Amino acid sequence: MAGVRSRAAAGHRPLPDASRQRRITRMRPGAGAPTEGLWGIAAETPVEINLNARPLAVMMATPADVEDLALGFALSETILTDAGAVRGFEVQVLPEGVVVDLTADADAIVESRIRPRFLEGMSGCGLCGVERLADVIRDVRPGANDAAEIPAEAILRAFDALPELQTLNRATRSVHAAAWAAPDGEIALVREDVGRHNALDKLIGARAREGAAGPGFVVMSSRCSFELVQKAAVAGIGLIATVSAPTELALELARASGLRVASLDRDALIEFE
């Protein structure tokens, strides 16, 4: 998988910038006259994900690391069973958005997972485009057990390191990050996006493209919602640590999959049973 290359379609345009500076007026009551300056605004672009030229989804996403997003989405939504079956990526930048065509061996594709419900997904949630209630919550398998012994100190170390590695968020203050940390808390890989589930898909896809393996955990700048737990469980992740607390449904799914969930409470770590 690590040797698979992405290629741009003939006559392609470059990917849009992930952020763009805009002029702002900053007003502080009681601090004198307003001041002018510049502020980074995160891009939110339609990204069409295709598999062997068949449409899977149109996601509103940050137009960066789009190959990682396409692969991570196909894997975490259980459409593609093996990242090693991927043969290539083609990226087209059109006036209306970005198209990523993922090519993979047919025997690694779960045809029943390619349904109309995947045609639309917004950056803010993981449900847009779902046709039936039965499609919302999928069966989750037991997650990896290699995170069982990771100590609180390592998780807090990763939380401390994450803000400095969120380069796009430092410019915009409006995007989420998903990072992979080693068992000692050292962060090895970071992906950012306007959508928290997109950020996690990008991370899953990036690790799959690199052929990364070994113990570790995911740390995220968002709350822990149920779709993050589903995606993490499918990817074999044993621990997800988020800045904000999880929802009840996220915890129920985490219990079912054996996935550890932790979050911050100021300078302390909370782990949920």
**How far is C-alpha 30 from the chain's CA centre?**
41
Number of domains observed in the structure of the chain: 1
Is 92 part of a structural domain of the chain? no
Say which CATH number the domain at 191 has. Answer: 3.40.140.10
In the residue annotation, 125 being an active-site residue is answered as yes
Chain mean position to CA 45:
15
Residue 140 lies in a domain: no
For residue 205, being part of any structural domain is answered with yes
Cα(first)–Cα(last) distance of the chain, in Å?
36
Count of C-beta atoms within a 10 Å radius of residue 20:
13
Give the pLDDT confidence of 109-122 residue by residue, as tens digits.
999 888 754 445 55
Catalytic residue among 27, 110, 125, 148: 125
Contact 164, 179 (CB under 8 A): no
Side chain identity, residue 9: A
Sheet with strand 45-51: strands edge to edge: 6-8, 86-94, 97-104, 45-51, 54-61
Which pTM value belongs to this model? 0.90
Instruction: Specify the pairing of strand 176-181 against strand 217-220.
Output: antiparallel
Is the residue at 231 inside a domain?
yes
Expressed as residue numbers, the domain containing 257 is: 152-272
User: Is 194 inside any structural domain?
Assistant: yes
- What are the pLDDT tens digits along the chain (273 aa)? 655 656 665 556 789 999 999 999 999 888 889 999 999 999 999 999 999 999 999 999 999 999 999 999 999 999 999 999 999 999 999 999 999 999 999 999 999 888 754 445 555 555 444 444 345 455 666 655 678 899 999 999 999 999 999 999 999 999 999 999 999 999 999 999 999 999 999 999 999 999 988 899 999 999 999 999 999 999 999 999 999 999 999 999 999 999 999 999 988 999 998
Q: Is residue 143 domain-resident?
A: no
In a domain, 192, yes or no: yes
Q: Are 232 and 107 in contact (CB under 8 A)?
A: no
Beta strands in 52-149 (DSSP E): 54-61, 86-94, 97-104
C-alpha–C-alpha distance, residues 182 and 210, integer Å: 15
